[in-house]
């Protein structure tokens, strides 16, 4: 995924990964069997213009600073809180 931002904030709602067991059993939400999920930004170099709100599972990008102009690769991991080794990695490019 590539996204660009300079000016108004760009907000991306992140969707928690679903497990196959609770998609077919229980409440069929895809979220009930393996426990809580969490996101973590594991890359660096984006601290001035990228923020993550765990309570809203939203990623927000905002910069009005010409010094931030450039390209940054952002890496986000989604993992199971009770089993942090079970994770999925998402990589995207932010262009400012």
What is the maximum alpha-carbon separation in the chain? Answer: 51
CB burial readout 47-74, b (16+ within 10 A) else e: eebbeeeeeebebebbbeeeebeeebeb
Residue 35: per-residue pLDDT: 87
Spatial CA neighbour of 10 closest among 56, 68, 50, 40: 50
What DSSP string runs through 20-55?
HHHHHSTT-SSSSSS--EEEEE---S-TTTEEEETT
pTM exceeds 0.85: no
Where residue 2 falls among pLDDT bands split at 50, 70, 90?
very low
To which residue do tokens 């939203």 refer? 58
Judged against a pLDDT cut of 60, whether residue 82 lies above it is answered with yes
Task: For 15-59, write each residue's pLDDT tens digit.
Answer: 888 888 888 888 888 888 888 888 888 888 887 888 888 888 888
Domains in the chain and their CATH numbers?
Answer: 2-95 (2.60.40.10)
């Amino acid at each position: 995924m590539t996204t660009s931002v300079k000016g108004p904030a760009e907000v991306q709602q992140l969707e928690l990964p679903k497990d196959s067991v609770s998609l077919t059993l229980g409440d069929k939400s895809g979220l009930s069997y393996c426990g809580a999920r969490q996101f973590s930004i594991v890359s660096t170099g984006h601290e001035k213009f990228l923020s993550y709100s765990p309570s809203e599972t939203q990623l927000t990008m905002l910069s009005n600073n010409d010094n931030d102009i450039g390209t940054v690769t952002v890496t986000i991991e989604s993992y199971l809180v009770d089993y942090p080794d079970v994770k999925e990695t998402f990589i995207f490019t932010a262009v400012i």
